[in-house]
Amino acid sequence: MKYYRVHTADIAWITQQPRGLFTAIGKLVDAKTLTEEEEKEYWKNREYFEKELPVPPFYDQGNPDKAITWFKDTEAGNRIFREMTFYRRMADKYGLKLFLSECEELPGEVIYEDDFQIAVKNQKEDLKVTVTELVMDESMK
């Protein structure tokens, strides 16, 4: 099965891995970068995704295993990714370059799994990952 992540080039403090899209846009909100209207849309989107996309329970403990989530290349995983247009639009608008990392094998030790995603710790050092820049599709702007 294929797995993929959408992220920035910034390295997250906890995981020491590239910062995922949800967190990257959350940082823009924390920094008061978004307009008032965009911030309202952010909270509306966040509520939707927290209802539709299970939040792995380890986040409640501050992610002690430094886990990284990867979408599954499945109907459910791909659907939820396609619905993340607000996050991609905000990244594009505010100059956050996004990357897509893909691999064809389990990227590490799975500590969580649902229909959409897996979370892994101890990412394999020899993992073969293809990283490409995620270019904003005109239909998403």
Distance between CA 48 and CA 118 in Å, rounded? Answer: 20
pLDDT surpasses 80 at 139: no
Quick one: pLDDT at residue 31? 97
Q: Rounded distance, CA 73 to CA 65, Å? A: 24
| Pick from 39, 40, 19: nearest CA to 29 | 39
Which tens digit of pLDDT belongs to each residue from 88-118?
Answer: 999 999 999 999 999 999 999 999 999 999 9
Structural tokens at position 124: 């394999």
Span 57-79, average pLDDT: 95
The most distant pair of C-alpha atoms in the chain lies apart, rounded to whole Å, by: 44
Distance in angstroms (rounded) separating the CA atoms of residues 106 and 28? 31
